[in-house]
Structure 1
Amino acid sequence: MVWWLSWVVVVVTIIGDGGVSRADVVGYDGRSLIIGGQRKILFSGSIHYPRSTPEMWPSLIAKAKEGGLHVIQTYVFWNLHEPRPNQYNFIGRYDLVRFIKEIHAQGLYACLRIGPFIESEWTYGGFPFWLHDVPGIIYRSDNEPFKFYMQNFTTKIVNLMKSEGLYASQGGPIILSQIENEYQNVEAAFKEKGPSYVRWAAEMAVGLQTGVPWVMCKQSDAPDPVINTCNGMKCGETFQGPNSPNKPSMWTENWTSFYEVFGGEPYLRSAEDIAFHTTLFIAKKGCYVNYYMYHGGTNFGRTGASYFKTSYYDQAPLDEYGLIRQPKWGHLRQMHAAIKFCSATLLQGVQTNFSFGQLQEAYVFQEESGGCVAFLLNNDQKNNATVQFRNISFELLPKSISILSDCEHVIFSTATVKTEYNERTATSNQKFDSEDGWEEFKDVIPNFSDTSLKSNSLLEHMNTTKDESDYLWYTSSFQQNSSCSEPVLHIESLGHVAHAIVNNIYFGTAHGSHDAKGFTFEMPILLNNEMNNISILSVMVGLPDSGPFLESRFAGLTKVEIQCSKEGTFNFTNQEWGYQVGMLGEKLQIYNDQNLSNVAWSKTKISTNQPFTWYKTVFDRPKGNDPVALDLSTMGKGEVWINGQSIGRYWVSFQNSKGTSSQTLYHVPRSLLKSSENLLVLLEEVGGNPLRISLDTISINYIHEHSHYDHLYQ
């Protein structure tokens, strides 16, 4: 067998006092990962460092460990770490080294998914937008410009980890790395450049000599020695297995719920369903399962991709605030304990599989020494099933798997939840209902004469803003040569939102959705016989995060017309337009305390339902340690800052099919807060009422229930 099919190179760590200690060697065979000479069944959980705060990391990791996890998995976020070419940022929420060291300090392993394309419902799939302007670039293809920058960043991260001694081969916690991400979804689009890119990426990664294995998820053609892994909700049913008998069966994304978008409804995946499919994967000789997400967290700032909510995977075992969500956390904890209790036999025993009937089957692991573990499956969705196994009768609940630790006694059933449910409560701590506490600034609506960037066509939105802002103003002016009766402004856009202002009068807004590629805006307007000014604000709610040829995507306005009831249509698409990137308040950064005086704030009666308005006030930090959130249920759409830090986009006015807002509570990490005089700034885009928002504390009714599984953790 070639060396890389079973073992990674041994590395020896020299200890300062002259002693020598052998670092953990990480390898694999057809059964499992092998760490320090021992086969392992590992449970892992995704926690993304920039979606929480450094102050939250220790608690999140500790709760993951208490929940029975062995590994913390995270992506690496290229656009955060290299916002400009060769200018790097690894501080604060971006301090990857600190995060990995915290994992190590708590005695867990780490899986580093470098990508550097990550998707992850993250704006532009994690790519920095400056990559778009590299001449001749085609992302994720056998394309020299792209490969140059991809290799540079991947090497940067690997060398950073090596310099801190963070690979297991150096005595650190990182036991796995990932290159690329779900590439097989788009590989065919690149034709012959796809497979050659996969081979190049694998060779490049392995050549960096991390001393630990590399994986490619959803990549059945992952070249040796890279391990192909599964993503999804049902990998025990859908995974075709490793592409070599010498590679283990691994599941890098077991989705604990599903992503959520503005205007959408939450996807609720039960604890029983997660446990069933996880146990089935283990029964079929799976050795590694990672929950995506174990803690979702928050898409702070403008980091969410197209239409994705600010709250991320709130239905995970640890919710957005880091609170334990029951019964999901506890039920999985008990399952982890049961499988850990059986792991020696699962890794050493011979597996057999047989059927009890059409919908019932068993997976049995038998050791020569006598050890025996059985998984009894009932795939009937509605009915109990009674099966005879080794002369013992077992009653199996619908859609369940029972684990028999000695092939006689059931120690866990995926359908039997013994963890009590909990509920999350938001309690109003402070109301902002006093007009005296607020000040406002109405942003300036630019006209054509105010703009310096001009073009005789409708420019593409993303290439114009360079992702420096969600907002791009399209402005034009014209004088009517003939009358236009009952004029209607008609706009077609491949952006996400458009607002229309004619002669400084706001005529309304329209938007698309996550599942639509564009939208149309039509609204009656008023024109005069003199010069008419049209200002259209195009808005992106995050950049796209998936699919081939991201560098060629088009967003923004594609057609602008004024339709007259009798005189026909006047097309403005190819006339001269003026452009302004961003809002004035953004440019002046008036959400920062030191920049507040850059504009004249009004202290008169506060406007409500007023578009393009900034609001500011101050508040005191709530007492205690409970998580904090802003209830923005009376606002429309915009962004919110606390002490100069953006806690994300809000879009309360985009309601789902049930007529409710997708998200009204917005997480305010306590680490952002001072004891008093905290600055709150809102940019309201469509109109809302800041006098009815509140600052809430979040609590949960949690009852820890000891069970007979707890001794398995000792």
Structure 2
Amino acid sequence: MTPTGGGLSWQSYNEETPTADDSDKLSANGLWEQKNVTRDSSDYLWYMTDVNIVSCEGFLKNGKDPYLTVMSAGHVLHVFVNGKLSVTVYGTLDNPKLTYSGNVKLRAGINKILLLSVSVGLPNVGVHYDTWNAEVLGPVTLSGLNEGKRDLTKQRWSYKVGLKGESLSLHSLSGSSSVEWVQGSLVAQKQPLTWYKAIFNAPGGNEPLALDMASMGKGQIWINGEGVGRHWPGYIAQGDCSKCNYAGTFNEKKCQTNCGQPSQRWYHVPRSWLKPSGNLLVVFEEWGGNPTGISLVKRSR
């Protein structure tokens, strides 16, 4: 792959975490299944709940932070506490279910727990896909309190489908002008839940084109409003590439290559989508990446 020219000039917009006051939220006691709420309108579903911490809690004095446990059917989970990202966890193709367990910083009073559950479009080859779960199944518990363990599973939860950037259609030509983007030295890097955009001209020639996304983590890509697809270079291929011997019974783990490399790095850009100039590239980054490392490349003959 050969770069087509100079680097791209990026602008960024930070995705906002929702609040329970948002008009388009849903509320109910207990946890809902993700696909039944999103109805395939988005990969993303926010789960929001409040945790009240009294001032006499022991951990406020001894510094031993309480322990949050979240069980999910997958595929990816971002945990936010009081507006700050605490952790990101994800399952695998073989086992998409995941459990997060870790200490969280809480304060006296009302604390906001937000869980962003993400479906990544894992392929399925089974029957009754509509009965497969993709959600925060629970239980969701908080340990290390004076009362011991508090079960948050059946308490009041609020739900919000999708991201603000999706509702504003930031990936489109018209929607991308509806918010104020920052540029230059203020462009966010290594920051989760960030939208990036750049304008570029179509390179000459007729060679196949692709985007090199090795510097990014996980998210989605659009060009002129058309979906290039989900990117996930942060997912590193596992395995043993140290030896190769085809003798004996064959299995898929023999003679592996590219261990420790992204599962996919280059993403095809159809030339039919491009105008001679003024093409809009939009990237939504979930994990946090370096957009200056993104480049448009062509396949060398």
Given the two structures, how large is their TM-score scaled by the length of structure 2? 0.86
- Equivalent pair of 1:461/1:495 in contact (CA under 8 Å): no
Is 2:195 the partner of 1:609?
no
Partner Cα distance (1:655, 1:541) in 2: 15
Q: 1:527 aligns with which of 76, 86, 106?
A: 106
What are the equivalent positions in structure 2 for 1:425-464 lying under 5 Å apart?
A: 426-432=1-7, 437-450=9-22, 452-464=25-37
Q: Which has the higher helix share?
A: 1
- Equivalent pair of 2:90/2:96 in contact (CA under 8 Å): no
Any idea what the Cα deviations from partners look like across 1:569-605, whole Å, max 9, x if unmatched?
A: 2211111111111111111111111112222212251
Shift of 1:611: 0.6
Any idea what the Cα deviations from partners look like across 1:50-91, whole Å, max 9, x if unmatched?
A: xxxxxxxxxxxxxxxxxxxxxxxxxxxxxxxxxxxxxxxxxx
- Equivalent pair of 1:448/1:533 in contact (CA under 8 Å): no
Partner Cα distance (1:522, 1:430) in 2: 45
Partner of 1:64: none
Q: 1:563 aligns with which of 139, 143, 150?
A: 143
Partner of 1:600: 180
Larger relative contact order (CA 8 Å, sep ≥ 6) = 2
1:586 alignment partner, SS class: helix
Alignment identity in percent? 40
Any idea what the Cα deviations from partners look like across 1:74-132, whole Å, max 9, x if unmatched?
A: xxxxxxxxxxxxxxxxxxxxxxxxxxxxxxxxxxxxxxxxxxxxxxxxxxxxxxxxxxx
What are the equivalent positions in structure 2 for 1:469-508 lying under 5 Å apart?
A: 469-481=42-54, 483=57, 484=59, 485-508=64-87
Q: Which amino acid aligns with 1:455?
A: A
Is 2:91 the partner of 1:512?
yes
- Equivalent pair of 1:640/1:648 in contact (CA under 8 Å): yes
Give the CA RMSD over aligned residues.
1.6
Is 2:275 the partner of 1:674?
yes
Any idea what the Cα deviations from partners look like across 1:336-393, whole Å, max 9, x if unmatched?
A: xxxxxxxxxxxxxxxxxxxxxxxxxxxxxxxxxxxxxxxxxxxxxxxxxxxxxxxxxx
Partner of 2:296: 695
Q: Which amino acid aligns with 1:443?
A: E
Shift of 1:452: 2.5
Tell me: CA distance 1:430–1:578, structure 2 relative to 1, closer, same or farther (3 Å). farther
1:448 alignment partner, SS class: coil
Partner Cα distance (1:473, 1:544) in 2: 23
Partner of 2:246: none
- Equivalent pair of 2:142/2:151 in contact (CA under 8 Å): yes
- Equivalent pair of 1:496/1:538 in contact (CA under 8 Å): yes
Structure 1, unaligned runs of 5 or more: 1-425, 701-714
Shift of 1:546: 2.7
- Equivalent pair of 1:429/1:622 in contact (CA under 8 Å): yes
Is 2:137 the partner of 1:552?
no
What are the equivalent positions in structure 2 for 1:294-309 lying under 5 Å apart?
A: none
- Equivalent pair of 2:217/2:287 in contact (CA under 8 Å): yes
Partner Cα distance (1:543, 1:457) in 2: 26
Tell me: CA distance 1:432–1:535, structure 2 relative to 1, closer, same or farther (3 Å). farther
Given the two structures, how large is their TM-score scaled by the length of structure 1? 0.37
Shift of 1:453: 0.4
Q: 2:200 aligns with which of 616, 619, 642?
A: 619
Tell me: CA distance 1:669–1:507, structure 2 relative to 1, closer, same or farther (3 Å). same
Q: Which amino acid aligns with 1:545?
A: N
Shift of 1:431: 4.2
Q: Which amino acid aligns with 2:225?
A: G
- Equivalent pair of 1:432/1:690 in contact (CA under 8 Å): no
Which structure has the greater CA radius of gyration? 1
Partner Cα distance (2:274, 2:164) in 1: 26
Q: How many residues align?
A: 272
Q: 2:215 aligns with which of 608, 631, 634?
A: 634
Q: 2:169 aligns with which of 580, 583, 589?
A: 589
Partner Cα distance (1:659, 1:575) in 2: 42
Partner Cα distance (2:125, 2:156) in 1: 33
Q: Which amino acid aligns with 1:584?
A: K
1:551 alignment partner, SS class: helix
- Equivalent pair of 1:447/1:535 in contact (CA under 8 Å): no
2:272 alignment partner, SS class: helix
Shift of 1:692: 1.1
Partner Cα distance (1:515, 1:487) in 2: 31
Is 2:230 the partner of 1:649?
yes
Structure 2, unaligned runs of 5 or more: 239-258
- Equivalent pair of 1:448/1:577 in contact (CA under 8 Å): no
Tell me: CA distance 1:590–1:695, structure 2 relative to 1, closer, same or farther (3 Å). same
Partner Cα distance (1:671, 1:454) in 2: 44
Partner of 1:13: none
Partner Cα distance (2:176, 2:68) in 1: 36
Partner Cα distance (1:427, 1:616) in 2: 22
Shift of 1:543: 5.8
Is 2:149 the partner of 1:574?
no
Shift of 1:555: 1.4
Partner Cα distance (1:442, 1:664) in 2: 24
Any idea what the Cα deviations from partners look like across 1:437-463, whole Å, max 9, x if unmatched?
A: 221111110123335301111110111
Shift of 1:430: 3.0
